[in-house]
Amino acid sequence: MRIDEQIKEKLNELMKIISSADDYISKLEQFSKVLTEKEKTLFDKYPLLDIIRFSFWDLAVLEICKLFNPDEKYGLTKILNIIINNYSKIPWKVNLRKKEFTDLIKQINQKEYLVERLKRIRDNFIAHLDDRKYVDSLAISELRSLVDLSQTVYKKIELGINDSDMIWDFKNDTLDMKMIKNLFKFEALREYIVTNDFKRVQYISTDDLIKILMN
């Protein structure tokens, strides 16, 4: 297989991993931004919601570890090293300097401390299904910064090899937050009706019901 074909194959797999990581982090961002503080109390009442949220954390960490593991078959460093070591043999569609790729290696190395934290989390918590307290030590923005860097690497290689660009500026909104919001409304309605029943209120206010539903 020619060197450019090898790179294209790795680039294709790399895109899948980056897309998955971006998707999981987008869902985490929705959980943190869309819900009000009152709505977040549902996580205490319905453990399944917390299981889903932690699953997104776990999957995001696992995908990012793939990207930044130098021994991973489709890791960022591996494909960059192939390019650097075979720079003169690659039939570039757009001429890029070798230094542009070595600079990307340096940017990846600058994230080493954060990547090592993720690896410890993967090995000590996720791989053994232990306590999920690790989430307290992580920020979604830290995960996002690593995915942003991986997207930058992909775009640079894609430009040089295929004279093409990849638009990553999208957020996957497949997580239906209406489900959680509607669940919160259901809880509010049930509490209102039970409270009024306990007080033996004969007529329930339509205005109160509308206020709960429209909230």
**Residue 195: its pLDDT value, please?**
58
The domain locations on the chain are 3-170, 176-215
**Residue 64: its pLDDT value, please?**
95
**Residue 72: its pLDDT value, please?**
86
Residue 125, CB-side half-sphere exposure with 13 Å CA sphere: 20
**Residue 29: its pLDDT value, please?**
82
Contact 76, 67 (CB under 8 A): yes
**Residue 78: its pLDDT value, please?**
93
The dihedral of CA 35, 38, 42, 44: what is its sign? Answer: positive
Contact 80, 148 (CB under 8 A): no
Interacting residues of 97 by C-beta distance below 8 A, sequence separation 6+: none
Tens digit of pLDDT per residue, the chain (215 long)? 788 888 989 999 999 999 999 988 888 887 776 566 766 677 777 676 777 778 888 889 999 999 998 888 889 999 999 999 999 999 999 989 999 999 999 999 999 999 998 888 888 777 655 555 555 567 889 999 999 999 999 999 999 998 887 776 655 544 455 555 555 555 565 555 555 544 454 555 555 545 544 55
